Structures are given as structure tokens and as C-alpha cells.
Amino acid sequence: MTIAITGSTGKLGRLAIAALKTRVPAGEIIALARDTAKAADLGVTARLADYQKPATLVPALRGVDTLVLISSNDFNDRAGDHARVIDAAKTAGVKRIVYTSILKGDASPMLLAADHIKTEALLKASGLQYTLLRNGWYTENYTGSLGGALAAGAMIGSSGEGRVSAAPRADYAEAIAAVASGAGHDNKAYELGGDTAFTLTEMAAEVSRQTGKTIPYNSLPAETYAGILHGFGLPADFAAVLADSDVQASKGHLYDDSKTLSRLIGRPTTPMAQTVKAALAAL
């Protein structure tokens, strides 16, 4: 069996390849990348595959049995990127696609979910076997800004007291490896999230406990939060999408108590406090 992974040089892709190497021989793994030089340290075969250059896709997918389609980070035409990969997979004879979607999938009201909803529909209509990994939030989405929060003396967002079932990327990467290398996952959708949900107020309390500083969580109106993110340099449209995600989190749309992720990876998911500790140690 040959397994290929798009986005192989990204944060999730690298972790997924590392996890796969513990389950299948490295010779059965192909890293797909726009710049194969960046994949040289992964210890697997690398092939050129560029979403924006369709001519690269079919050759990259020849001989691949299972394709892990890690969602594109091009928010201008993400569904288009995915459509080109799915079409190339069909032409190349790929048997199954494992796709990293979003929690609650086609039921999610998030602006961020629109491209995932389109991609899920494309996969279901493709005639290929598919598995939808509906990933919840990465804990690193929050811990990645802890340096700024410590400097400012507060964490900010718009999620109110909504509970978020977040887990670190490494946990989701293990799920990718388990599903891509295993059987019995055809045409299934898995809702994935951390075992223990938390509010951002609770995370701020944990940051305060670990640092010995008082770091509150200030929940702001979405427009205010989006304006701050835009002021940090994010494009206005993307800042609005992130603020919307927080608002939807406040309504429970990033909450999942199924514990499907921990069942797939065969262990409890990583607690938020552990991810906070690692992030603080890296500052």
C-alpha cells in the first residue's frame, strides 16, 4: 500500500508523516510538496505537487493507493485547490482519499467551513472511497499567541464562555496515520476533538497558574476583535473569518464530546495544560 500526503512540509503534514512512519514502512509513504527540497528531511520519497499547477498532480499521484488530502491554506480558492487534487486522484487511479475537514462538517455555520462543505460534497460525488476527518480546533491556535498575551497582560477573543474541544496537532496527526494505514474507514465521517473541552477563561487561568502572572481572558465583540487582528497585520477578510470562528465557538460549534479522536489514536488526547506548558517553554 502506498500513502501520499499533501501539505507534507506544513505543521500538520510533518507530524502526520512522522506518525505514519511508526505504522508503515517509510518506503510506502510519499510526501507531496510544492518544493520537494523542503521535504528532504522527512525520510520518505518526495514528489512535486502544486495545487496551482494541475499538470504536476496526476504524475505525483501515480501508483498511490490512499491520498491524505490536508486542506489547502490558500483561502482565496481552497475548494478549487481541492477539486483539482480530487480530479487528478481519479485520473491517477487513487483508491481512497482521507480529507482533513472541520468539526461538524456540513452542519457547521462557520464562515471557515464553506470550503470544507464544498470539498466534502466533491468527495461524495467523486466515486472514490473517502474518509472525512472532521478536525476540531488545534490547541496551538490559542497557544501560538501566548507570547503576545503575556506581553499585553491578557488573552483576547470573542468566544465568551463557549467550550472548545481542542487538541494539539500531534493528536490529529496520529488520527491521520491510524485511518490512512488502517481498514474499515471507507465512506465514514469522524467528528474529532479533545477529550476535555475548555473555555478560554479556563485556559487563561491555566496560563496564569503556570506563569505566576494574572492573565485574564477578555471576550470582545466580533467587530472589535477582527479590527485588532487586522491591526496585527492579518487581511481584513481573514480577520473577520477568525472572529466569526470565535463567535461560533461561543455557540458550541467547536464542542464535541464523542471522544472519537482518542478512540482512533488509542490513548487519551493531550490535555490543554500540557500544550500550554510546552508553548510557554518555547517562548
Residue 155, domain member (yes or no): no
Sign for the CA dihedral angle at 229, 230, 232, 233 comes to positive
> Based on the structure, what is the number of domains in the chain?
1
pLDDT of residue 94: 98
Residue 160, domain member (yes or no): no
H and E: helices and strands count for the chain: 12, 9
Buried-exposed string 243-261: b where 16+ CB fall within 10 A, e elsewhere: bbbbbbbbeebbbbeebbb
Residue 88, domain member (yes or no): yes
**Cα dist from 208 to 145, 211, 273, whole Å:** 14, 5, 11
Sign for the CA dihedral angle at 229, 218, 224, 142 comes to positive
Chain CA centroid to CA 134, Å: 9
Please give the residue range of the domain that contains residue 37: 3-136+168-193+258-265
The model's pTM is: 0.97
Residue 21, domain member (yes or no): yes
pLDDT digits (tens, 9 = 90+) for 84-98: 999 999 999 999 999
What CATH number is given to the structural domain containing 16?
A: 3.40.50.720
Residue 73, domain member (yes or no): yes
**Cα dist from 187 to 30, 99, 126, whole Å:** 23, 11, 11
**DSSP β-bridge partners for residue 45:** 30
pLDDT of residue 73: 87
- For every one of its 283 residues, what pLDDT tens digit does the chain have, with 9 covering 90 and above? 999 999 999 999 999 999 999 999 999 999 999 999 999 999 999 999 999 899 999 999 999 999 999 999 888 889 999 999 999 999 999 999 999 999 999 999 999 999 999 999 999 999 999 999 999 999 999 999 999 999 999 999 999 999 999 999 999 999 999 999 999 999 999 999 999 999 999 999 999 999 999 999 999 999 999 999 999 999 999 999 999 999 999 999 999 999 999 999 999 999 999 999 999 999 9
Residue 276, domain member (yes or no): no
Residue 220, domain member (yes or no): no
pLDDT of residue 75: 80
CB proximity list for 101: less than 8 A, separation 6 or greater: 71, 116, 119, 120, 132, 133, 134, 135, 189
pLDDT of residue 76: 83
Residue 179, domain member (yes or no): yes
